[in-house]
Each structure stands twice: as structure tokens, then as C-alpha cells.
Amino acid sequence: MDLEFHQQEYRRSLVYTSLARDLWLELESHFGESNGPLLYEINREISVLTQGDMSVVVYFTKLKKLWDKLACLNPFPTCFCGASRALA
């Protein structure tokens, strides 16, 4: 099968999305970049970080920066069940 055939088939599958958001999510899942290697690296850095001869402030600052990077790459999941509205 050639590339042109695959492109046509993929375009046809996008016609069946009813909402722009669904289309965007489909495209993102197909073409989006994976943060897996970067998430692994940051988690590894966190797990091997030791205070050593650093002050508590310097150690905590380095740890906090890694936590912030991790939070940006691994956001909280979206709630679709409505429980989050009940908590607000």
C-alpha cells in the first residue's frame, strides 16, 4: 500500500467527527509528540537527586524545578463525570 492510499483513508475517517474538539483530539492523538522520554528523564532526575553538600534551600529549589517541569508535561486528567463540579 502506498502513502497516498493511507492519506486518503485517514482523511475519510476524519469526516465522521461531529465536533471540532473531537477532530482536534483525533489529530492530536495521531500526530502529537510523545513526552514519554522526557517524562522518564525528569522522573529519573527526581529519583536520583540527593542533597549531598547542598543547602536545604538549593536542594529544595532544584527539586521544585523538576516537579514543576513534570507538572507541565503531565497535567491532571480531565474529569468528564461531573464530580469536579460537585467539589467546586
| pLDDT score of 11 more than 70 | no
Average pLDDT, the chain: 78
Query: What count of other Cβ atoms lies within 10 Å of the Cβ of residue 42?
Result: 21
What's 18's DSSP letter? -
How far lies 12's CA from each of 7, 33, 86, 87, in Å?
Answer: 9, 23, 39, 41
CA 22 centroid distance within chain: 18
What tens digit of pLDDT does each residue of 42-61 get? 999 999 999 999 999 999 99
Query: What count of other Cβ atoms lies within 10 Å of the Cβ of residue 3?
Result: 7
Please give the pLDDT value at position 1. Answer: 47
H or E element at residue 70 = helix 56-73
| Range 21-48 average pLDDT | 81
